[in-house]
Structure 1
Amino acid sequence: MKMKTLCLILLIHASLQLKCDKTKITAYVGGEFSLICTFDTNRFLFSRKYWCRGDARNTCEILVHSESATKNAQKYYILDAGRRGLFVKGTGLQLKDGGTYWVGIDKIYADVMTSVKVVVTEVPVSKPRLQPLTSLGGRPTCWGQPLTVRCGSAKGTNIRYAWYQQSHPKNNLLYQSSDLRLHCGTTEKDRSYYCVASNDVNHQESDILFVQVLLPAQSSCIYSVNIPDQPVYDCADRFTTSTDRWTTTTATTPELTTDSHNATENQCLHTNQTNVDWLYSRKWTGLPLWYSFLRWGCFLFLLVILCSLLKYAKAKHKVKHAKRQRKVRFRHLAQ
């Protein structure tokens, strides 16, 4: 009983000599902490103060002290501000930095010390966002092109990502990856997906990504992807064109065959009509074909006239030349 009372008195006496504002510090990986302590300035104003690590006060390792720098001065810092108190700071914390620490003051026979528990944990994961690596504005999936969607959290350390497919009664794990790759081979049916970001502290789920299949892979592979905070689009124009082609080529019942035959006849009629109106409706370099014929005909007509004029001028020149020669010959004879 006397021993317990003596220990209690010593603890109370020590707390009056040195007291810190925290006895437990919780910090995140890569973060920092600060500690403010007060001490009996009448007795320990000029005594050395230190920060040490270890489970027991008698065997702890001094990391930094107030009188000179030590090997851990870059991670830990201690400032003896005299009558304003004692300040301890730790930076760049890692998981291995967690444990029991001591703030101590040198004293003859027995130092004055108080313990501080430091707990270092991972940074909690924030809600992940979904970002397509290819812009959805061009509607690449309407033409069956592959699409990669990336899951990412703005905050968190040592994050692990996983993609799940929503289904009942239990969701299916697809990939242990931050990327979800969508292509014709994985778009056979309408599906819903979501991403989970997690670490040792917590986990967060993303919004739902919905894939709507308009035509399966064996046809034209048309699908659309709906992602929150991303452009909303459909493949209505592409879907209509491909559906007509798909219905014509895959018809198996008599009714569908008749419809396909009628469609073929209509197409042939349309082609014949197109051939009839070819001279009037067909365009070449942006102009009607009849206009092109007229223009080239005028050009040929002018070319013929020009050639005729040249021949006429050449013949006339020969006649004049012959007359001059005759005149010269007559003059020579006359002389």
Structure 2
Amino acid sequence: MTLNNKMKTLCLFLLLHASLQLQCDKKKITAHIGEEFVLVCKYDSSRYLVSKKYWCRGSSRNSCQILMDTDGIAKSAKSQIFDNNRNGLFVKVTNLQIEDSDVYWIGIDKIYSDIMVSVNLVVTKVPVSKPRLWPLSSLVPTCWGEPVTVRCGCTKGDDIYYTWYQQTPHRDFLVHRSSDLSLHCGATKEDSKYYCFANNSVSSEQSDIVSVHVLIPANSSCIYVVNIQGQPAYDCADRMRTTTAETPPLTTCEGRTETHSDPGDQFLTTNQTDHVGFFSRAWTGVPLWYTLLRWGLFASLFITLCIVLRCTKARHKKYAKRRRRRRVNGKQSTR
């Protein structure tokens, strides 16, 4: 047997012997930032009950740095070691950070060669949880075209990046990189669906859908409804009724009708306008009998006015004839 083989065999024997004298419940520990762990080890209390035990950091057992020992000589703010004699040896490390990832050793002080067992510690960031969505204000003002902001946030996770996407049948489009989605009339021309994407170096999660239903598109004074899962549902039915019932702007001719000060002239002008839309209004909510009655009254008034004008004209003619006769008779008497 060569010298190298003898050395390998001796090392294996020593490791096996050490493992029988010191055993821990974990050989590899994976934790997240801010968490803690407890390592439980058993040792031969009949031989090493009063020996010093220590917690050591470093890739090599011969050069690792002792962080804490049972004699209280080495101290660490994050590490604690307890020797509970026959009940075992306990190591507790708190407030873990990324930089704590390394190889650690549990050691028992022994002449010539300490008994040591390695533990591999890996600290990672906290995975992100599913993003939650909520509006920063009431959603109801969207019925009046007011802007609204929807925020995306995770209850768990470190160094989270938020991104908003618009969902389409063919592909999803990046809206912007932020935790807030701003909706307003100029950005809501048609029905759309959005979702938030949260990720860090450990994991990624997608939020529920934010659906935007556009009732009346416009650059301003638009009407749209935003639906978010978990938020109270609403509609813009009242706003739609008031919008469709609004009086259309007056034309130039109708505007002149309102500027007249004489009620009689207003009545005549209004009836002239009604005459143009007689057939169109008769079947759009106004009863036919009402339209006929109104036009009958107008005809009666018009006929009465014509009779009065005609009688007045006849009286003027008779009066003029009498005056001419008086003038003729006066001239004759003078002669």
Query: Same fold, TM exceeding 0.5?
Result: yes
CA distance in 2 between partners of 1:217 and 1:108 (Å): 86
- Matched residue, 1:148: 149
Alpha carbons of structure 1 residues 71 and 80: separation in structure 2 relative to 1, 3 Å: closer
- Matched residue, 1:63: 67
Which residue identity does 1:126 align to in structure 2?
A: S
- Matched residue, 2:131: 128
Q: CA deviation at 1:245?
A: 4.5
Aligned-partner SS, 2:16: helix
- Matched residue, 2:30: 26
Aligned-partner SS, 1:223: strand
- Matched residue, 1:324: none
Residues 145 and 220 in structure 2, CA contact (< 8 A), matched pair in contact too? no
Alpha carbons of structure 1 residues 69 and 141: separation in structure 2 relative to 1, 3 Å: farther
- Matched residue, 1:310: none
CA distance in 1 between partners of 2:11 and 2:244 (Å): 88
Q: CA deviation at 1:15?
A: 0.3
Q: CA deviation at 1:128?
A: 1.1
2:79 to 76, 80, 97: 76
Q: CA deviation at 1:235?
A: 0.6
Q: CA deviation at 1:243?
A: 3.6
- Matched residue, 1:98: 101
CA distance in 1 between partners of 2:73 and 2:80 (Å): 9
- Matched residue, 1:229: 230
| Residues 46-57 of structure 1: pairs in structure 2 closer than 5 A | 46-57=50-61
Which residue identity does 1:87 align to in structure 2?
A: F
Which residue identity does 1:2 align to in structure 2?
A: K
CA distance in 1 between partners of 2:141 and 2:100 (Å): 49
Q: CA deviation at 1:69?
A: 5.6
| Residues 175-190 of structure 1: pairs in structure 2 closer than 5 A | 175-190=176-191
Which residue identity does 2:143 align to in structure 1?
A: C
Residues 193 and 210 in structure 1, CA contact (< 8 A), matched pair in contact too? yes
- Matched residue, 2:121: 118
CA distance in 1 between partners of 2:75 and 2:189 (Å): 62
Matching of residue 16 in structure 1 with residue 20 in structure 2: yes
Equivalent residue pairs, number: 253
TM-score normalized by structure 2? Answer: 0.71
CA distance in 1 between partners of 2:227 and 2:195 (Å): 12
Aligned-partner SS, 1:14: helix
- Matched residue, 2:310: none
CA distance in 1 between partners of 2:128 and 2:78 (Å): 25
Aligned-partner SS, 2:15: helix
Matching of residue 2 in structure 1 with residue 3 in structure 2: no
Task: Return 5+ residue gaps in structure 1 as ranges.
Answer: 250-257, 267-335
Q: CA deviation at 1:124?
A: 1.5
Residues 23 and 117 in structure 2, CA contact (< 8 A), matched pair in contact too? yes
CA distance in 2 between partners of 1:69 and 1:126 (Å): 42
- Matched residue, 1:240: 241
Q: CA deviation at 1:173?
A: 1.2
| Residues 192-203 of structure 1: pairs in structure 2 closer than 5 A | 192-203=193-204
- Matched residue, 2:44: 40
CA distance in 2 between partners of 1:129 and 1:69 (Å): 49
CA distance in 1 between partners of 2:71 and 2:138 (Å): 60
Residues 220 and 242 in structure 1, CA contact (< 8 A), matched pair in contact too? no
Deviations 1:306-335 (A, max 9, x none): xxxxxxxxxxxxxxxxxxxxxxxxxxxxxx
Which residue identity does 1:132 align to in structure 2?
A: P
CA distance in 2 between partners of 1:235 and 1:171 (Å): 28
Deviations 1:125-182 (A, max 9, x none): 111111111123xx11001111111111112222211111102322111121111111
| Residues 165-180 of structure 1: pairs in structure 2 closer than 5 A | 165-180=166-181
Alpha carbons of structure 1 residues 56 and 131: separation in structure 2 relative to 1, 3 Å: same
Which residue identity does 1:226 align to in structure 2?
A: N
CA distance in 2 between partners of 1:181 and 1:219 (Å): 15
Residues 185 and 221 in structure 2, CA contact (< 8 A), matched pair in contact too? no
Q: CA deviation at 1:197?
A: 1.4
TM-score normalized by structure 1? Answer: 0.71
- Matched residue, 1:313: none
Alpha carbons of structure 1 residues 233 and 53: separation in structure 2 relative to 1, 3 Å: same
Percent sequence identity is 58
| Alignment root-mean-square deviation, CA | 2.3
CA distance in 2 between partners of 1:38 and 1:148 (Å): 58
Which residue identity does 2:89 align to in structure 1?
A: L
CA distance in 1 between partners of 2:10 and 2:103 (Å): 25
CA distance in 1 between partners of 2:236 and 2:15 (Å): 77
Matching of residue 89 in structure 1 with residue 92 in structure 2: yes
